[in-house]
Homo-oligomer: A and B are copies of this chain.
């Protein structure tokens, strides 16, 4: 039985993408060679890389605006480090809105001063801090658009005169935004873009070259940019499958089209959480994430029944992260509305049983 996959990441991808990626592992476009056996310097792979980079910019509306896209290795966690190495000279401002934000602060602190402009840690990160000031003499401001673990999402971004950096790992390509307000965006592929193993970095080139430290080659955005994202052997399968997913999104109508679907799924999910007396949402309502809905089951005695019902319905990956407990329904781009309907039915069936 095909599952309803609510996993928080790695997570569901479009079935047609899985099929095409699977075929390419045996034979890429009837070339007689597997995708993973060819040289990354071959025309076939260079074309794939270039297409992936171009599609990322196109979908974000950043073509011809001074931005370049890179597909790097190391996960978003390596970006915590690369952002600081490439951009932090003296002091930077960070918004501490969740576990990943806190980790980005920890890594940057190795290199220089970090100022937490605001934090929601005291409330176990159940809301997005607002109303803070960002000093205009800082090197940059860093924030996390969607807090995967806690299920909160930034609905607006601060206007600021310094470079704006955003970790969009768990909501990139899910909603329309003016992406040109950001100077650097990064996102691990394994939510809305592809398999784990590559990280998209979109950089406005003019923010680079302003720090005095010597940057190791593999950590240097300029090095990767100068080599067309192929300074060393790229993670070919992850890049190819990301390219397929971006193509799928473009064919659907781009971010504006998927945003409508994502809104429908989130509305259905949160209305069940709110109306069903057995469940309670974790995140403050105004900051609720359209990607990850976090909620708890109020009556512990019903836990076993609920989880058996989930299993019988083929629902996978609903367990909450240990820092929040309860459940987390991750509703990434590729999750069909039908999967949310199945989950909501199970929740209301539990109510009728209770």
Contacts and interface: CB of A to CB of B under 8 A. Distances in A.
Contact of A32 (B18, B77, B237, B314): B314
20 contacts: A2-B32, A5-B33, A7-B37, A9-B39, A18-B25, A22-B23, A22-B25, A32-B316, A33-B316, A75-B218, A77-B218, A77-B232, A81-B217, A81-B218, A106-B217, A195-B237, A196-B233, A196-B234, A196-B235, A197-B238
A67 to B, nearest CB: 24
A132 B9 CA distance: 50
Nearest to A188: B233
Q: Is the interface of A mostly helix, strand, loop or mixed?
A: loop
Contacts of A18: 25-26, 34, 36-37
Q: Which of A33, A73, A241, A317 neighbours the largest number of chain B CB atoms within 10 Å of its CB?
A: A73
A69 interface: no
B218 A1 contact: no
A196 B49 CA distance: 14
Interface in A93-110: 103, 106-107, 110
A3 interface: yes
A18 B197 CA distance: 18
Interface residues of A, number: 63
Contact of A73 (B75, B107, B195, B317): B75
A311 to B, nearest CB: 12
A216 interface: yes
A52 interface: no
Interface string A179-196: 000000000101000111
Q: Which of A12, A23, A188, A195 neighbours the largest number of chain B CB atoms within 10 Å of its CB?
A: A195
A340 interface: no
Interface in A284-343: 314, 316-317
A10 B314 contact: no
A333 to B, nearest CB: 13
A81 B219 contact: yes
Contact of A78 (B8, B73, B214): B73
Contacts of A5: 33, 37
A231 interface: yes
Nearest to A111: B216
A7 B39 contact: yes
A224 to B, nearest CB: 11
A236 interface: yes
A349 to B, nearest CB: 21
Interface in A31-87: 31-34, 36-40, 73-78, 80-81
A13 interface: yes
Contacts of A32: 1-3, 314, 316
Interface in A235-268: 235-238, 241
A10 B22 contact: no
A103 B194 CA distance: 31
